[in-house]
Amino acid sequence: MSLILPTLYSRQVRSSAKLHRSPTPGLLLGLILTLAAVVAYSAYNILQIRTLRRLQTDFADRSRKDSLQLLRVQNDLNSLALAMRDMLDTDEPYPLTAWSNQFRRIRTDLEDALQREEQVAVIERSAEQRDYLRSELAQFWDAADRTFALAQSGKQDEARSEIRISLQARQAALSTAVARLLVQNNENEELAATRTGEIYDRVRRQGYVFVAATLLLILLTSLYVMRANRLLFAQLAALSAQRSDLAQKLIATQESTLQYISRELHDEFGQVLTAVGSMLRRAEKHAPDNSPLREELQEVRQVTQNTLNTVRSLSQALHPVMLDEAGLESTLDWYIPTAEKQTGISISYEKSGEPFSIASTAAVHIYRIVQEALNNISRHSGAKQAWVRLRFFSDKLELEVEDRGTGFTTTNGRRGIGLVAMRERAELLNGSIDFLQPTSGGTLVRLQVPREAVESNV
């Protein structure tokens, strides 16, 4: 029976374990999806940031610098227009050649402005567009050189006519081209601002989507974990109930076996040894006095009596009949002095409180816990003194077994089977058992059992 029950229990554990799959694959999938979403959103944000940087660098900043250079060109062209207006004014006392140095400075500044403008221009212009300003300026400066050449040769009227016909027209065309480029730069800046706004809006929308998706994944993963935990705890509760039922059956089987062996030893072997002793006593009476046979019969009868005493002691140790007949208190009153003689340990036994009736099954469990605790003290603690305290409270029963030995230790990090059995018996009584280490050293085993559990024999 004791071999069949563990086998059935292991089968129940394996079959129930198959009913619940491990949540690890689902959690791993959720983690992978979350990480994938984070990586995808991070890559998307990096791309958008690069696009914004390119817009700011290639469009906004370059457009601003390009506009500054075009405004510089426009200012130089306006300066040329004012200079040509003054040159056409006949009231000016200065000859036309007096403006040649001003034209030279403006020409140098214009060439530098156009060179810088080509470096920061936002849009790629065609060859005709790139050469337009320079060709127009080259023609303008050729006409200006001719004008100053005429003025230097004394042909003032022809020089002014060249200004009216050629220089002013070319200056107006150049101003119009520069204004067109400024308008185009403004349009590019507005386009870049629009695209920047669209990118920000798109990133914001994608951020909302990412947050919503992440929260959804977290919610689904949390729900999955909650469901898995609920199933797992339900399974653990079922396994715990099965284990408790199995432990109760095992302990009940063990106690019934011990009780049967104890009864057989007490009844069968005891009666046989008693009968043998009686026969030896009768045979001894028929033997002559002071004969060797009479002495041998006395020795055999003494051996038989010792064996009978041993069998009765063993029977009491396996299952004291007193538990069924006299109860727990009387059994402990008998067992503790017996254990004191067997182990050589001085045991102090104390009782306190108002005693109440204890069911036989509960008495067996409590007695076994006392027996196991005293055996542990004898085998492992090295103590020479122990204390057993039985306290009756209005709502519970408390039992303490204490020693001043080496303290509680485990072998290879595992608790012995005796401690496991003690804990199982405490759970069968709906009680609790603690293995404590007092500050003074040693070990304190404390059992607490509700009164209703002891009286109702749960």
Whole-number pLDDT of residue 106: 92
Asked whether residue 279 is assigned to any structural domain, the reply reads no
Whole-number pLDDT of residue 55: 64
Per the structure, how many domains does the chain have? 2
Flag whether the pTM goes above 0.95. no
CATH code for the domain of 84: 1.20.120
In one-letter notation, the amino acid at residue 69 is Q
Whole-number pLDDT of residue 154: 85
Contact 253, 2 (CB under 8 A): yes
Please list, in sequence order, all residues whose beta carbon lies within 8 angstroms of the beta carbon of residue 346, skipping any fewer than 6 positions away: 340, 384, 385, 386
Asked whether residue 136 is assigned to any structural domain, the reply reads yes
Asked whether residue 392 is assigned to any structural domain, the reply reads yes
User: Domain of 430?
Assistant: 320-456
**What string of H, E and C letters represents the secondary structure of the chain?**
CCCHHHHHHHHHHHHHHHHCCCCHHHHHHHHHHHHHHHHHHHHHHHHHHHHHHHHHHHHHHHHHHHHHHHHHHHHHHHHHHHHHHHHHCCCCCCCHHHHHHHHHHHHHHHHHHHHHHHHHCCCCCCHHHHHHHHHHHHHHHHHHHHHHHHHHCCCHHHHHHHHHHHHHHHHHHHHHHHHHHHHHHHHHHHHHHHHHHHHHHHHHHHHHHHHHHHHHHHHHHHHHHHHHHHHHHHHHHHHHHHHHHHHHHHHHHHHHHHHHHHHHHHHHHHHHHHHHHHHHHHHHHHCCCCCHHHHHHHHHHHHHHHHHHHHHHHHHHHCCHHHHHCCHHHHHHHHHHHHHHHHCCEEEEEEEECCCCCCHHHHHHHHHHHHHHHHHHHHHHCCCEEEEEEEECCCEEEEEEEECCCCCCCECCECCHHHHHHHHHHHHCCCEEEEECCCCCCEEEEEEEEHHHHHHCC
Residue 280 CA, chain-centre distance (Å), reads 78
Asked whether residue 238 is assigned to any structural domain, the reply reads no
Q: Tell me which of 200, 220, 240 is where a domain ends.
A: 220
Q: Tell me which of 185, 220, 255 is where a domain ends.
A: 220
pLDDT in tens, the chain (458 residues): 444 444 544 555 454 444 456 667 777 777 787 788 778 878 877 887 777 776 666 667 777 888 888 898 899 889 999 988 888 887 767 788 888 899 999 999 988 988 888 887 765 566 676 678 788 888 889 988 998 898 889 888 898 898 888 888 888 988 898 888 888 878 877 887 787 788 778 878 888 888 888 888 888 888 888 888 888 888 888 887 787 777 777 777 877 787 778 777 766 777 787 888 788 777 777 777 777 887 787 788 788 888 877 777 777 667 777 777 788 888 888 889 988 888 889 999 999 988 888 888 888 889 889 988 998 888 888 888 999 999 999 999 999 999 988 876 554 445 567 788 888 888 888 899 999 988 888 899 999 999 888 875 44
Asked whether residue 280 is assigned to any structural domain, the reply reads no
Q: Tell me which of 220, 237, 268 is where a domain ends.
A: 220
**Which residue, 194, 224, 198, 217, is CA-closest to 40?**
217
Do 46 and 161 fall into the same domain? yes
Asked whether residue 71 is assigned to any structural domain, the reply reads yes
The phi-psi region of residue 345 (left if phi > 0; otherwise alpha if psi is between -120 and 50; otherwise beta) is beta
Dist. CA 173–CA 177, nearest whole Å: 6
Q: Strands of 432-436's sheet, edge to edge? A: 346-353, 385-392, 396-403, 443-450, 432-436
Do 216 and 332 fall into the same domain? no
Do 56 and 202 fall into the same domain? yes
Contact 103, 144 (CB under 8 A): yes
Asked whether residue 276 is assigned to any structural domain, the reply reads no
Asked whether residue 122 is assigned to any structural domain, the reply reads yes
Strand-pairing partners, residue 403, are: 386, 443
CATH code for the domain of 393: 3.30.565.10
CA angle (183 as vertex; 182, 185 as ends), nearest 5: 65
Strand-pairing partners, residue 26, are: none
Residue 201's Cβ-count burial label (10 Å; 0-12, 13-18, 19+) is: exposed
**Which residue, 378, 403, 406, 377, is CA-closest to 389?**
403
Dist. CA 138–CA 229, nearest whole Å: 85
Do 203 and 337 fall into the same domain? no
